[in-house]
Amino acid sequence: MEQNKYLIHVNGITCASCIQKLEDLSNYNHNIKSAHVYLGQSVVEISANNTHPKEIVQYITRLGFKAEYLENKAELFEANKKSNREHLGRIGVAGFCAGNIMLSTIPLYSGVDPQYRAMFAYLGFILFLPVVFYSAQDFYKNAWRAIKLKSLNIDLPITVALLSGFLFSTWNLFNSEFDYLYYDSTASFLFLILSARYLLAKLQQNFIATYSDTDFGLNSFYNSDSGSKLKELLVAGDFLILQKGQTLPAKAKILSPSSEWSLSLISGESYPKDYQEGMIIESGAILISDQCEIEILERYKDSRIHNFQVKLDDIKKTKSDFVHFTDRFSHYFIFTVFMVAIGFGAFYAQKDSFQAFQRSLALLIVACPCALALGTPLAYVLGVYRAKQQGILIYKKDIFDRVLQIKNIFFDKTGTITQGQLSVQQVIPYDVELINVILNLEKVSQHPIAFALRKKYLSHYCDLGITAREIAGVGLQGEWKGNSYRFLKNIEADRMSSVLYKNNEPVLVCYFEDALRADSRKEIEKLSMLKKDIFLLTGDVSAVASETAQLCNIRNVFSDQTPEMKKELVEKYQPALMVGDGLNDALALQAAHVGVSVQSSVQMSADSSDAYLLQSGVGQISILWRISQSVRSTVYTNLGISLIYNILAGYFALTGYINPLVAAVLMPISSIAILLNTLRGVR
């Protein structure tokens, strides 16, 4: 039997019992042979046979986790695992050798008996061999790649320093010049830089969220009259039975007498809409009522929702890669160091060719690009790590630079600064007895209205023994104490309400709203203190929009926005930050300088954005600024430290004051200073 390995990303693994639950999957599902949790990456590796990975995902979802199948990621995961092990092995060897070289070098510095000097010197040489031939291999590969591409990278000077240190020391060794051995400083430098890179790679794998190949809020399978069908295989004329909560994959005609749909994904309108038999509905709508039969009118490939995906991919391709200024800086740095070394060597050679050679090499060895090679990447990854601790998942590392350029901030309304759910705003008149009648009518209803009422007035509820009947598409009906009661939806443009009729007489009106999230107002205040212009974008009509805007002090409102209009607005006001959740925000999120999606966003929006908020609400957005600032100031102070170090070390090297002992002290100090400054600086 064939066994397949699947990787499944699982959110919400927090404790020991979660791990046990997941690893015991094989006891409950005979198709699953084994499961292994990798907590750092939030990934479960599952070996199974005879089953589709999506079924496993469904199974895990039923256990109460948010799971997602990582297609095509299994190889990457294996590759990461392998390269991590290799890397750690190299570090182990380098650490062992560096430590022992240092021990064997101390007798040389402190003046051991001449008969033992050669022994310790050769011991250092032997211990350096694994470092130069095994531990440092990756640096050679990267440096070689840079040479082939005729460019400079940070591994090039490291390789030059390492190899020149090795060759120069070995040449001195064989000439019995035991005072000029750089084995210890070079080995410990390599050990430090390898360790820092390992830390970096690990953090990167764990905290930079993985991109997934999305089925963007759509299910891949739909129930049709002839079994389940892949969405890509749907053709015009197919009959589907959609379940509550499913998203429509293509334009369709409705066959059930009446049904209720949320268009929030497509248009951003907050209130659900009723559709009657025979009406045509656009793809991307989500079914709210219980079950609905539809006839598909177009292929998925021609649908609006698929069109969306194509457009998004286009923007993704055209968005230019951000070139960080430290990249440019590192080019100048490497170029300068090489030039100075060669120039000095050529100039001084007329006076003393041995000294010229030695001092130039000393410069190459001690000139340390560690601020660039270690400090900058570490600062960014630590920024990502801190952000995750504060509840922001970062998808792209360069977000920290881009956040600081932002001038305008756009908020989507429905689901972003509001809860995206109905809640009771007002009941007129407030009559406890009538409210109880309504609660009884809505007793078993799954409608958003029923949930809103139950949430607010559950304490008023006592069973009156009313049997409610549904009046399809409009409301509910029931009898109590000889009176007939009906609770019917009232269609108004700007406000959603329901009216209770007692024997055809309206006796109570109940208004609903999409309430603000608790922290929206406070966060927007904080952001306006940063002197940013704040805008509200919504697909709702202007009355609803301006009411919300007033509540949270936003002066600029754009209502009646289609997804394309949102994108254009954001582009007009660049550099802009966009916060959104729905499919209708995806284009704008992608186009914006920085896109942030909030919790419970549809997958497609989350994929289009640069960061994702892990806690509900928008309360963490200002944290992005704080972290970005600390990352930037850390990068700058690192560069400052490194500049001072390199000027001093370079000066001493060229004037001949740098001997191996000074190098052995100076080089680790500069690396460690950079590391400590970074760890302290990014908060």
Partner 1 sequence: MNILIILVPLALLLGFIFLFYFLWANRSGQFDDLDTPALKMLNEDEGEQHER
Residues that bind partner 1 (CB under 8 A): 15-17, 19-20, 24, 27, 37-41, 81, 84-85, 88-89, 92-93, 96, 99-100, 103-104, 113, 116, 119, 123
Q: CA-CA distance, 412 to 410, in Å (whole number)?
A: 7
- Minimum Å distance from CB 14 to partner 1? 9
Q: CA-CA distance, 628 to 476, in Å (whole number)?
A: 53
**Residue 85 or 469: which CB sits closer to partner 1?**
85
**Residue 35 or 438: which CB sits closer to partner 1?**
35
Residue 208: closest CA among 374, 11, 382: 382
- Minimum Å distance from CB 488 to partner 1? 47
**Residue 19 or 315: which CB sits closer to partner 1?**
19
**CB-count burial class (<10 Å; 0-12, 13-18, 19+) for 303:** buried
Side-chain half-sphere CA neighbours of 246 within 13 A: 20
**Residue 26 or 214: which CB sits closer to partner 1?**
26
From residue 679, how far is each of 154, 192, 324, 379, 577 by CA, in Å?
21, 15, 21, 8, 28
- Minimum Å distance from CB 189 to partner 1? 20
**Residue 111 or 429: which CB sits closer to partner 1?**
111
Question: What does the DSSP assignment read for 117-172?
Answer: HHHHHHHHHHHHHHIIIIITHHHHHHHHHHHHTT---THHHHHHHHHHHHHHHHHH
Pairing of strands 576-580, 483-490: unpaired
- Determine how many CB atoms are found less than 10 A away from the CB of residue 205: 18
Question: What does the DSSP assignment read for 476-520?
Answer: EEEEETTEEEEEEEE--SS-EEEEEEETTEEEEEEEEEEEEPTTH
Left, alpha or beta for 289 (phi > 0: left; psi -120 to 50: alpha)? beta
Tokens of 111: 């003046």
Using DSSP's 3-state secondary structure scheme, residue 627 falls into helix
- Minimum Å distance from CB 382 to partner 1? 18
**Residue 38 or 511: which CB sits closer to partner 1?**
38
**Residue 92 or 506: which CB sits closer to partner 1?**
92
- Minimum Å distance from CB 206 to partner 1? 9
**Residue 86 or 564: which CB sits closer to partner 1?**
86
- Minimum Å distance from CB 588 to partner 1? 36
- Minimum Å distance from CB 123 to partner 1? 7
Range list of H helices, 244-375: 304-318, 325-348, 353-366, 370
- Minimum Å distance from CB 203 to partner 1? 13
Q: CA-CA distance, 170 to 188, in Å (whole number)?
A: 17
φ and ψ of 579, to 5 deg: -115, 125
**Residue 103 or 557: which CB sits closer to partner 1?**
103
- Minimum Å distance from CB 102 to partner 1? 12
Residue 581: closest CA among 557, 599, 562: 599
Using DSSP's 3-state secondary structure scheme, residue 194 falls into helix
**Residue 35 or 544: which CB sits closer to partner 1?**
35
From residue 634, how far is each of 163, 248, 575, 637 by CA, in Å?
31, 48, 24, 5
- Residue listed under structure tokens 């990461």: 80
**Residue 24 or 564: which CB sits closer to partner 1?**
24
- Minimum Å distance from CB 71 to partner 1? 22
ω into residue 257 within 30 of 0, thus cis?
no
